[in-house]
Chains A and B, each alone.
Chain A
């Protein structure tokens, strides 16, 4: 029984530190940038918005605009999409029973990119610029399409790790098609695509935040309600079924939510690698358990914090040059994954 309370303490500490980190990341993100704004000023600008807008309170208007029009939507988008990415990674890892499964690995991102390339090139002939809504829709459809393609093989291939290989192959096929199209595209079209394909939270609008939150938050809640069957699924399909889990329905839901989550991310921010693999790993090691009822919220918040910090690094380290957030997540995420794998291997060999 002593271990039980020790575990509870550990879990509380983890969630508390996640909360603190979240708060710190928000403040840090807001006050760092080419225009420095003090914490006190930020608080005034944040919590007395109405008074400033009505002119009742005198304030630094440029700073007000920077916070409300640029930094705040951007950091919120990073938080929402970061949470979605790592949650999607967690679900895919559960589904494929493989620690390296993730939206990036499985060709979901490449599918989006391919669709986006097709749409951009097709539309640029008739339209001066491709509207955002079309970009988002194309990316969304692309990721769903490649996920469905992977799923089409689930009936034929029982071995989950082979299915993972299918996903990786699909990712290569999509990349090949995209490269082929780019060869025949005009330069102006490529710029847009290349920028997108590196992944970025820049130019986030409140509308982006609203739409992605509307997709991500309900999906997050739904997956949280799936945590009981997910825990049974950890014992394998045979046991899960004998415990009363409707395996067919459960698998459909699992893949649906993970696809929707990652599709949403790719649509709004482009492909962002390693968050989906690294964050669930960090959470597992931190919590020292894989219980979904703890892992799901932990992954979501940890992913949010991770992406906010990565975005902060992306836009400040080489300022005024901005890195793509995908570069930062890979640079940080990949070593973390290697380190965690090695640590786990060492523990297993003990």
Chain B
């Protein structure tokens, strides 16, 4: 608790006196990034708004650098805490530079006249988010991605110690999402700015955050490092994913598994089978697959989409029992797919499976075509 720069102590937040999320206790060191994840309407924004004093807290307290945020003067708080909100703002006739200059509000005099130092900070903030080229364009005439960057520049110009961002990556395409998070990451690392943000992209949350808090059902369902959070089925449970699945380590999402008796068997491996799995999933054809080593990237996909894929231990030869299971699956299937994975010493068994299938008179797709040997 002592080395924490930002913390909340048994905070309860909500609207109109009705609690929405209870017992929130976070603790962050300077320069750490906390990401809130959770389903829509779980209260992520409410937590953020309560931290930034946009909403009154119901009980508990918020601490910033040893001071209770509730008791801080508004100017003091404004020079330490900056926000990027979800509000869609449409200021009239305001250039990006003027908008970023608004971040200097806590530092300027009664008429908000900028000093040379203020101008430098504004220019540096614009450069920080790589928006110097659009500085003199009208804010309402730029794209969503640029707008979000300019709003971040405004927050940076406030020279805060803590930045709170509410879903800053919504409406952004993937390139701009990455860019924005990269900027936040380097600000935290290099300038020691503490960052709290909510994200919908759990895969990105994993990659940017030092701490993750999962908000669900009126409480913090889990709080810890990404490694602690992204284990087991916590994410599936958090978002009630019962159709489809999320792979915590890869950060990929798979749609729901086609259910029923497998009609197709895919002889895969090394990632060659993945496009076939997706093609079968889209057509809702139940299938099985094998024999895959359990360290294979492809196995993660097969485990999510195939019925009972046959799997072998990595770094050890395929066992007889696994071959027998695969043959049984081929017997059940109406067709076999040869993914085209090159057959080498350790996956010879898969070559044998194809020969077996041919002997059993199973149609094999696609028709064999010499494949270039390359690892995906």
Contacts and interface: CB of A to CB of B under 8 A. Distances in A.
Interface of A: 3, 225, 227-228, 231-232, 234-236, 238-239, 241-246, 284, 288-291, 293, 348
Interface string B58-80: 00000000000000001101100
B115 interface: no
B291 interface: no
B106 A244 contact: yes
Contacts of B85: 236, 238-239, 242
Nearest to B138: A347
Given A227-B111, A241-B53, A234 B77 contact: no
10 smallest beta-carbon distances between A and B, as pairs: A244-B78, A228-B112, A243-B105, A244-B74, A290-B92, A290-B93, A234-B91, A242-B83, A238-B85, A236-B89
Contacts of B132: none
B110 interface: yes
B170 interface: no
A236 B84 CA distance: 12
A254 B360 CA distance: 85
Nearest to B103: A243
Interface residues of B, number: 32
Contact of A293 (B94, B111, B136, B140): B111
6 contacts: A236-B89, A241-B54, A242-B78, A289-B93, A289-B98, A291-B98
B184 interface: no
A290 B93 CA distance: 6
B83 to A, nearest CB: 5
A242 B82 contact: yes
A174 B236 CA distance: 59
Contact of B111 (A228, A241, A348): A228
A242 B158 CA distance: 10
A232 B83 CA distance: 14
Contacts of B105: 228, 232, 243-245
Given A235-B91, A293-B113, A348-B140, 19 more contacts: A228-B111, A232-B105, A234-B91, A234-B92, A235-B99, A236-B89, A238-B87, A239-B154, A241-B53, A241-B54, A242-B53, A243-B78, A243-B102, A244-B106, A245-B74, A289-B98, A290-B94, A293-B111, A293-B112
A231 B91 CA distance: 10
Contacts of B158: 243
Nearest to A3: B136
Contacts of B98: 289, 291
A284 B108 contact: no
A284 B92 CA distance: 9
